Structure 1
Amino acid sequence: PYSFSRRFSLVAWCEASLEILHVHPLSLSVLQELQRGLNAPFTLRQIDGAEFEQRLNAVWQRDSSEARQLMEDLGSAEDFFTLAEELPETEDLLESDDDAPIIKLINAMLAEAIKEGASDIHIETFEKSLVIRFRVDGTLHEMLRPGRKLASLLVSRIKVMARLDIAEKRVPQDGRIALLLGGRAIDVRVSTMPSAWGERVVLRLLDKNQARLTLERLGL
């Protein structure tokens, strides 16, 4: 898991063969844990801190393609509000090997936003709360207040999907996610912004099919 890699400054890297890239000397207990978890032969190679950050980020961003594929099935996404209530509050998304629940929540959130005709999704982290708002017709509407501990899970997974640096939390970042919904191409522009209580995220939904407005759609 990500937390294990971060805690011990190591990452599994496979090109010609499986390597464990590490910054600091590894203890016997860590090596034994690696052997149990990988169940495959590997070699050790020491690297510096900068290379470790690059490799770790590359490994976890590989998951983004799988995440985007899951997002293409948004049409059958489960109810957004039900999922948010049922999702367990874990401190870190990548603490667990299974991040399917948070992906389902993001899928449902995007599906709900598109259904409501929202142009933006705002994920705002405060000291004791997490607020999700949709911008509809230029006005922000509060949709949900999930558990505060879900903030890091939500932001981390969105950053992976948008191919952003999940380790960088001190500067703004911009990225994009391309997905399909019922054959419609949806381009999601992602912007993250550091704040006093954690990162805030804005997702701008660009539906190419909604680019042309008719009198009927304008209510005229």
Structure 2
Amino acid sequence: MVETDIRTQRIGDILVNKNLITRDQLNETLDIQKETGEKLGDILVRKDFVNDKTLVDLLSFQRGYDRIDLSKIQDTIDESVSNLISKDFALKRKVFLFKLVSGMLHVAMTDPRDINVIDEIRLLTGYNVKPFITTQKDIDDLINLHSSDEYNLKEVQEIMKDADLTISEKYEEDTVEKNPLVKLANQIILKAISLRASDVHIEPQEKSCTIRFRVDGVLQKIKDVPKTVQRLLISRYKIMGGLDITENRLPQDGRGSIRFQSRAIDLRFAS
């Protein structure tokens, strides 16, 4: 008797051979796929022919995908990572950004083979992507828990228009960035550089977050921003400085850089 390697079989045949679905259910699913163009797995789950976690486990084994159970790590998610892309983009592309490790962005996806989506994320964030497979439900749940909604993004966009933080048009080429959270973080630094500030302080308050610049040796208050932006802003600077974004107790030091008038400005970060 010759055994066939499961990795060479079609996913529908594997499910039938393992008695997870019937041959009739597979044929019905294939007929629907011909009419709608949907992915086989999406139809199987929608028709309740197979459990979504079972399907993901099988796809992970068959195709060699890294598997991630988002429900087990939801308490360690840092929202500055998940919000490197917009909530709308995450929902449409069925992705969730859950970790940044040594410049590599870990992304949960329903289809890790989707090179187009991976390229889009890389272009939007500036980071290389390591894809992981997970269920659509887990992705939706984590997006709703950790991704900024339209209201928060509008808050960020309004802050960027504030007179205290706006920068001269001649510096705008250095802030080419689609993500508003990243753009705000860059804009604050560029504003400080334009004012010849030596330090930028991000100071959490009870109901807000205060931004201060040290200019000519004097620490000056520049702007209070909403508390909802505080963690995102601080975590973004930790990422820029190569710091551990999950460490909130021990002091850390790091270095990074930013483009200003066509040259790189070295930055030192401390938390």
| TM-score, structure 1 normalization | 0.49
Would you tell me which structure has more strand in proportion to its own residues?
1
Higher relative contact order (CA 8 A, sep 6+): 1
Would you tell me which structure has more helix in proportion to its own residues?
2
Larger radius of gyration between Structure 1 and Structure 2: 2
| TM-score, structure 2 normalization | 0.41
